[in-house]
A and B are shown apart, each in its own frame.
Chain A
Amino acid sequence: MEFSYEVKDSYAEVRADGRLNMVSAPKLREFVTDVIAGGSNRIVVNLENTAFMDSSGLGALIGCLKAARQAGGDLRIAAVQPQVNMVLKLTSMDKVLTAYSTAEEAFSND
């Protein structure tokens, strides 16, 4: 899995491309923690190219959400693909991790 980020006007967009599994989940946590430490506390994780997520990946997203909130911000997810959406719904975590169609929409109303 490859990570990248871009600081936009009102948020930082993190892209996670590949499989978000037990191998890559700790790396996502570390990557987002570094982005937050760099001064961004409003994070959008763009999952457009995340074709797979397991419970480890879900746990990492929850950890990132908590880190963003502890820094006074928030974390939202965007462009969720069908398998990731299935995992979110089966675990009822779609109510906790707010999904938006695009990264631009995620913080557009606040």
Chain B
Amino acid sequence: MTEILASRSFRGPAAEDAIEAVHNDLDSLWLDVPFVNDMDQMTFTTAVIESASNIVQHAQPAGDRDVELGVETTVQPALLQARVSAYHAKPPFGPMEPATPGEDAESGRGLALIEALVTTVTFERQDGTNTWVLSRTSSQD
């Protein structure tokens, strides 16, 4: 059975305020698990914020209800995992492949950055909810 050592959960309107709230959640999460090294904390935080920001910036409502952002983060002995969800959202528009923008481009690096920061990224679509599952194997040194 999986041992959860610490966790945080956020759900709220997919708006700018949510990004700061999620970031504050992550900062407090690391205080609970000081054995997670600085590099793992830094990379995982960056990946989660990138994913959450992507939802706030790009998720479109599927119907009358506004899109909500959900972020559930868990720390297991050797695994960091986050489920970053867009509730009441249309399926993502366009290719979900990381882009390779030119060096003077001001956007388009988010997906590639996420993939570079975590071990695996998977996408789930269920009941009007898009969820990105980010996992990073923790080195625990």
Chain A residues engaging chain B, CB cutoff 8 angstroms:
19, 21-23, 52, 54-56, 58-60, 62-63, 66, 82-83, 86-87, 90-93, 95-96
Contact A21 B42 (CB under 8 A): no
Nearest A residue to B20, CB-CB = A23
Chain B, interface size category, equals 20 to 34
Which A residues lie within 8 Å of B53 (CB)? 21-22, 54-56
Which residues in B have some Cβ–Cβ distance to A below 8 Å?
Answer: 16, 19-20, 23, 38, 42-43, 45-46, 49-50, 53, 56-57, 103-107, 109-110, 112-113, 116-117
Instruction: State the CA gap A63–B106 with chains docked (Å).
Output: 6
Report the Cα distance A19→B50, complex, angstroms: 13
Main SS class of interface, A? helix
30 chain-A/chain-B pairs, Cβ below 8 angstroms: A19-B20, A19-B23, A21-B23, A21-B53, A22-B16, A22-B19, A22-B53, A22-B57, A23-B16, A52-B45, A52-B46, A52-B49, A54-B46, A54-B49, A54-B53, A55-B50, A55-B53, A55-B107, A56-B53, A56-B107, A58-B109, A62-B105, A63-B106, A82-B42, A87-B46, A87-B113, A90-B116, A90-B117, A91-B113, A96-B104
A65 to chain B, nearest CB (A): 8
- CB contacts (< 8 Å) of A58 on chain B: these are 109
Cα distance A87–B57 in the bound complex, in angstroms: 20
Instruction: Report the minimal beta-carbon distance from B134 to chain A, rounded to whole angstroms.
Output: 14
Partner of B113, one of A23, A55, A60, A82: A55
* CB atoms of A91 and B109 under 8 A apart: yes
CA distance A22 to B17 in the complex (A): 11
> Which of B16, B103, B112 is packed against the most chain A CB atoms within 10 Å?
B103
Residue in contact with A93 in the complex, picked from B38, B42, B103, CB distance below 8 Å = B103
